[in-house]
Amino acid sequence: MSEKRKVSFLGLGVMGGAIARHIGNAGHELTIYNRSPIRAEKWQEANPGLAARVAESPAEAARGADVVITCVGNDDDLADVVLGPQGVFSTLGKGGVFIDHTTVSARIARQIAVEARDLQIHCIDAPMTGSQIGAENGTLTLMCGGRADAIEAGSPVMSAYSSRIVHVGKAGAGQTTKMANQICIAGIVASLAEAVRFAQSSHLDMEKVFEAISGGAAQSWQMDNRWMTMAADEFDFGFAIDWMRKDLGLAMDEGRGIGVSLPVAALVDQFYAELQAMGGGREDTSALIRRLPRRGAK
């Protein structure tokens, strides 16, 4: 990409920190901000080759920027960072691009889009999938809601850390697409956990079972990446149960609003609540197998 831009990135968590690194490596003029300043300091220490300016507030980060990207925690965090007195929209200029990668409600995404329209700011709600591995490798898939011209304006920067940018619809559509994604994952992980425990309790060779079934109709990303780790009781991977419960809650709230029942998602959400009660909220979602006792162990 030949055109370099002034890009401000807000929210340096596991996903955001990796994305910011890709943006800096692409040659953009990078400004970073995190509500906890120590995280910004640690990011700089971990990326000594990147000259990133540290802003003291979202407003300072957005002042003079071409593109502002957020990756924070929830609706309230996003509203504060973007719409608050010291928020992004208090200083981001006309024609600027705002991209949000947080998984939040479609309601807040639409509200921000209305505010952006009135300020003549391009706005994209772009939740992502691909997990921590995708962020580290720059191969995320972005589900983008907003106007076509906004997606076009943001794509040169988003391409620095994603392998697929899909314009799924108008403002808020990115978030509802992400909800559909999480509904799928919840059901797949639940059935995968049962299959792994069933195979173990049947004293099968787990590698052979995987070889036999992973090339057919049962195949999935979760099977390819979590079958053997679930069998080995290893759950230190990207996406935590706490975050999955947040996402499923968003999906169920949206479902109630549009009159759609999500019984499988609701059931799996209850399973994850059990794991939180067991102290496993920060474990990867594949820890769902911990609820299922292994029978007939030799």
- Confidence (pTM): 0.93
Q: 294 with 234: CB under 8 angstroms?
A: no
Which of 141, 170, 199 delimits the end of a domain? 170
User: Does one domain contain both 112 and 155?
Assistant: yes
- Identify the CATH number of the domain in which residue 135 sits: 3.40.50.720
Using DSSP's 3-state secondary structure scheme, residue 144 falls into strand
Cα separation of the two ends of the chain = 58
Residue of 4, 42, 170, 178 marked catalytic: 178
User: Does one domain contain both 80 and 201?
Assistant: no
Does 185 fall in a domain? yes
Q: 19 with 159: CB under 8 angstroms?
A: no
pLDDT at site 297: 55
User: Does one domain contain both 149 and 21?
Assistant: yes
User: Does one domain contain both 91 and 146?
Assistant: yes
Structural domain count of the chain: 2
User: Does one domain contain both 18 and 154?
Assistant: yes
DSSP lists the bridge partners of residue 221 as none
Task: Single out the residue of 101, 144, 96 nearest to residue 121, CA to CA.
Answer: 96
Does 296 fall in a domain? no
pLDDT tens, 40-65? 999 999 999 999 999 999 999 999 99
User: Does one domain contain both 41 and 187?
Assistant: no
Which of 101, 136, 170 delimits the end of a domain? 170
Please, where are the H alpha helices in the chain? 14-25, 37-46, 58-62, 75-83, 106-118, 131-137, 148-158, 173-201, 206-213, 221-231, 241-258, 263-277
User: Does one domain contain both 35 and 147?
Assistant: yes
Does 58 fall in a domain? yes
Q: pLDDT: is 238 or 116 the higher one?
A: 116
User: Does one domain contain both 185 and 165?
Assistant: no
Q: How far is CA 71 from CA 1, 103, 127, 140, 199, in A?
A: 23, 8, 9, 14, 39
Q: Is the pLDDT of residue 1 over 50?
A: no
Does 298 fall in a domain? no
Token digits for 71?
A: 């990756």
Share of the chain above pLDDT 90, in %: 95
Using DSSP's 3-state secondary structure scheme, residue 115 falls into helix
DSSP lists the bridge partners of residue 38 as none
If you average pLDDT over residues 249-276, what whole number do you get?
A: 98
Does 41 fall in a domain? yes
Task: Single out the residue of 216, 252, 283, 94 nearest to residue 274, CA to CA.
Answer: 283
The tally of CA atoms less than 13 A away on the side-chain side of residue 75 is 14
pLDDT tens, 121-145? 999 999 999 988 899 999 999 999 9
User: Does one domain contain both 199 and 282?
Assistant: yes
pLDDT tens, 188-231? 999 999 999 999 999 999 999 999 999 999 999 999 999 999 99
Which of 170, 202, 232 delimits the end of a domain? 170
User: Does one domain contain both 156 and 203?
Assistant: no
Q: Is the pLDDT of residue 296 over 80?
A: no
User: Does one domain contain both 152 and 117?
Assistant: yes
- Identify the CATH number of the domain in which residue 272 sits: 1.10.1040.10
User: Does one domain contain both 180 and 164?
Assistant: no
- Is residue 178 flagged as an active site residue? yes
Q: At what angle do helices 173-201 and 263-277 cross, to 10 degrees?
A: 70
Give the range of the structural domain holding residue 193, as residue numbers without chain letter: 176-291
Task: Single out the residue of 20, 28, 24 nearest to residue 3, CA to CA.
Answer: 28
Does 297 fall in a domain? no
